[in-house]
Structure 1
Amino acid sequence: MSDFKSLDPELRKSLEAIATFVETISGTAPSQKELALVLGRYFVKKEICDTLMAERVSLLEKEL
């Protein structure tokens, strides 16, 4: 399991990008609690996993 005691700068930028997107679309920035709520939902976790797996396969194919 990953150690989340400190955030990698790339992860921080991604979370900030999500917050900015939500604010642009909805007019209000999400709180950290709201982001945690939606990121913990099954559908979002499944989408993240599927995207990561596809990215890993793509990177492996490029190495061949």
Structure 2
Amino acid sequence: MTDFSNLHPDLKKALEGVAGFVKALCGTAPTQEELAVALNRYFVKKEICDTLVANRGEAEKKDGE
């Protein structure tokens, strides 16, 4: 399993981007607890998985060229 004791700078930046997006749309930034709840929803997990699989497939296509 992935070790999350230290967040990669890109992951931190992505979470900050999500918080900024929510703030822009809703007027207030989400708390870390609110982000955790949202990220644990099945739809969000499925979307993340689908995106990773698609990106990995594109990377494999480029490697095969």
Q: Secondary structure at the match of 2:28?
A: coil
Percent same amino acid among aligned pairs? 56
Q: Secondary structure at the match of 2:57?
A: helix
- 1:46 paired with 2:64, answer no
One-letter code of the match for 1:32? Q
Q: Which runs of 5+ in 2 are unaligned?
A: none
One-letter code of the match for 1:26? C
Q: Which runs of 5+ in 1 are unaligned?
A: none
Q: CA RMSD in A?
A: 0.4
TM superposition score normalised by structure 1? 0.98
Q: Count matched residues.
A: 64
Instruction: Give distance in 1, aligned partners of 2:25 and 2:60.
Output: 35
- 1:15 paired with 2:15, answer yes
Q: Secondary structure at the match of 1:28?
A: coil
2:32 match: 32
TM superposition score normalised by structure 2? 0.96
Q: Secondary structure at the match of 2:46?
A: helix
> Post-superposition, which runs of at least 4 consecutive aligned residues in structure 1 deviate over 2 A?
none
Shift of 1:63: 1.1
